[in-house]
Amino acid sequence: MTNKKKTIIGLQVVATVYLLGNMLYSNLQAFDLMSTAMGLLGLFGNILLAHKRSSTFALNMSNNILGGVLSFQNRFFAEVGMNIIYFVTQAVQGIPYFKKHKDETGEVVTKSEFEPVKIITYIAFGTLVMGLVSKFFDGNMVVLDSVQNGIAIGAQLRQMNGNADGWLLWVLSNIINIIVWASVGNWILVASFAAYAIVAVSGYLNWSE
């Protein structure tokens, strides 16, 4: 095993141990089944995605459904729309890409090139649209929530096209999500997004080989 692979696996182990420990502590205080399920689905779904496994989609799409419900309950309406976008882009873009782009060993082929114009365009468009949606429904933390979702749209579109830089955008998106969920006191999801950020670093390392 190369040093890079050891680093990738090490980051994922740290993320898993950290999140499981935090969930155990939080649920001893007040059990939260939905947030716990969402956190675990997202964690293991992202780890599978970092390793280019098509089984990621079953976990991540289930996570999107739970995330949409939880976001609606907290009036983060832009986030509700984002979970719909995550679900749809995986179905129409991610799954077909994983099926069509494989090397002779059967591993999904990913791309390391950086395209700043496309990334900025995706983020700007996503921020504007999600901001209007959240404002229309009188959501909470409209500006921060919309910026986070604009970044996440860029991350999702890049990632579902096999671009490694999507993982870097997810790091930034997850950091903003930590702030958003901390504002409503959901510490399980705060820990979840911290773990996702760690996994995103490992995903970038693996996809950019």
pLDDT in tens, 121-166: 989 988 888 788 777 877 777 788 788 888 999 999 999 999 999 9
| Residue-level pLDDT at 136 | 80
Taking the C-alpha atoms of residue 13 and residue 70, their distance in angstroms, rounded to an integer, is: 27
| pTM for this model (two decimals) | 0.87
Is the predicted pLDDT of residue 65 greater than 80, yes or no? yes
- Token pair 């976008």: residue: 85
**Amino acid at site 159:** Q
Least confident among 94-103, 142-151, 152-161, 169-178: 142-151
Taking the C-alpha atoms of residue 89 and residue 110, their distance in angstroms, rounded to an integer, is: 17
Average model confidence (pLDDT) for the chain? 89
Q: Would you place residue 84 in the very low, low, confident or very high pLDDT band (cuts 50, 70, 90)?
A: very high
- What the block records as the tokens of 200 is 């995103």
- What the block records as the tokens of 104 is 């002779």
**Amino acid at site 154:** G
Taking the C-alpha atoms of residue 188 and residue 185, their distance in angstroms, rounded to an integer, is: 9
Is the predicted pLDDT of residue 76 greater than 80, yes or no? no
β partners of residue 108: 102
β partners of residue 102: 108
Sign of the C-alpha dihedral computed for residues 47, 50, 52 and 56 taken in this order: positive
Is the predicted pLDDT of residue 81 greater than 90, yes or no? no
| Residue-level pLDDT at 186 | 83
Identify the CA nearest to 12 among candidates 142, 206, 209.
206
Sign of the C-alpha dihedral computed for residues 47, 199, 62 and 35 taken in this order: positive
| Residue-level pLDDT at 126 | 85
Least confident among 74-88, 100-114, 146-160, 190-204: 74-88
Choose from 15-19, 67-71, 128-132, 140-144 the range with maximum mean pLDDT. Answer: 15-19
| Residue-level pLDDT at 63 | 93
**Residue 95 and residue 69 in contact, taking contact as beta carbons nearer than 8 Å:** no
